[in-house]
Amino acid sequence: MKLLQWGFFAVLFALSAYGQTLDRVVAVVDNEIILESEMNAQVQFYVFNNKIDPNTPGIKEQVLQSMINEKLILAKAIEDSVSVTDDEVQQQLDAVIQQRIQQFGSEAKLEEVYGMPISRIKREFREEMRKNLLTQRLQQQRFGSASISRRQVEEFFQTFKDSLGKVPEEVELAHIYIKPGFDKTAHEVALTKARTILDSLKAGADFGEMAKRYSDDPGSAPQGGDLGFVRRGQFVKEFETAVFSLGEKQLSSLIETEFGIHIIQLLERRGDAVHPRHILVRVPRTESSDQVAITLLDSIRSAVLAGANFAELARRYSEDKETSLLGGNLGTAEFESLDKSLLATVAPLKEGEISKPEKLQTGNNYGYHIVWMKKRTPAHSLTLDGDYQRIESIALNYKRTKDYQAWLEELKSKIYWQSRL
């Protein structure tokens, strides 16, 4: 229904280009206008995000109609006195900009791309974000609690069952994940290096230059260790605790996490957001520490095959914090959509089987895991008895789409709008 996330930055792009080229109004909706520069920027983002040919016939008309629809909903939201708070606008604005900073790699790069500082980006787009939130809130109020009866689901299925296609093969998985510990000698070497760097910083060495030269974090080292503005929940626990306890310009002590040893400096604090930079010294794992993890997983696997409860052992031993409390449950997924490394582990397993320990790479870190094939469902045609919840979800989305389109037609009949494309 929406182009919101890409629309945000399409408008920014248009703002940065505004004044450099002649512009014209391509649509009017109530008291709002849509400029050609805004539409063209939206088109660029749309074709990029959907990987389609920008010369596809009708793309401009399709995008413009979507923008007109957004303006119609905004007009209705204002008419119905829908409201959002200044805090909600600021939080959403900060979150979306932070998302794009991470995408581009740094604040400086984002500012370069859009030709304006972050402070101006926020100032220029604050009102546009408020409007976006108003349209979201009105849609949530109108369609968020939509429901569908069993009779409607059955009627939908009887009407469309021949066009719904097949359900692809699905697997329900659980795993137990172990990270190799640090070798004591390698750990001492890394500690010595980190202490030396910290002593140099305390003696007046430039943090940014030290990060560029010595940090083992490839994502932030080229930017002098800069991590941009972040909120709680974006770092591992040990790192987050240290960051939020620092005062501005203060250096941390040596902080150890699963990634290695960190030296952190807090550059700035804005409300509940912080702007840190860090230097990471990785502690290499060794073959002996890998073997300890593999041996432990082998023993856990043997215990399960002998009758032990997989979920209980996952809660006790797994170091995957997101799944351990769930008994190692990874959920259900389409077989073909699995990550290649996981696919190779899962492919030969039959329902109920457990893999041998396999290496699992996650970014620059790795560990070992065993995977339990809890359930394996082959590809099949949909049936009401076996796939009711899936059919219900499809039918509900279909109903929402029809209701949404009908609502838009109603708005078009009551609110002034005109396309000038």
Q: What is the pLDDT of residue 19?
A: 45
188 and 176 together in one domain: no
The DSSP letter of residue 365 is: E
CA angle 8, 9, 11 (to 5 degrees): 75
The pLDDT assigned to 5 comes to: 45
Q: Is residue 254 domain-resident?
A: yes
User: Tokens 């009949």 label which residue?
Assistant: 413
Does residue 36 lie in a domain region?
yes
Residues 27 and 128 in one domain: yes
Instruction: State the alpha helices, DSSP H only, in 106-165.
Output: 107-114, 118-143, 150-160
Instruction: Give me the CATH number covering residue 240.
Output: 3.10.50.40
Q: Residue 7: its pLDDT value, please?
A: 52
Instruction: Note the pLDDT of residue 176.
Output: 98
Supply the pLDDT for residue 398.
95
Q: What residue ranges of the chain have pLDDT lower than 70?
A: 1-22, 364
Q: Is residue 392 part of a domain?
A: no
- 275 and 235 in a common domain: yes
Look at residue 58 in the predicted model and tell me its pLDDT: 92
196 and 176 fall within a common domain:
no
Residue 273 sits in which domain range?
A: 184-281
> What pTM was estimated for this model as a whole?
0.63
In terms of domains, do 29 and 114 share one?
yes
Total structural domains within the chain: 3
CA pair distance 58, 35, nearest whole angstrom: 18
Please check whether residues 31 and 113 belong to one and the same domain: yes
Residue 17 lies in a domain: yes
**385 belongs to a structural domain:** no
State residue 278's pLDDT score: 97
- pLDDT for 18 equals 46
Q: What is the pLDDT of residue 10?
A: 53
Q: Has residue 256 been placed in a domain?
A: yes
Query: Considering the domain boundaries, does residue 160 fall inside one?
Result: no
Domain end call among 254, 281, 308: 281
Angle at 371 between CA 366 and CA 376, to 5 degrees: 140
* Within-domain flag for 154: no
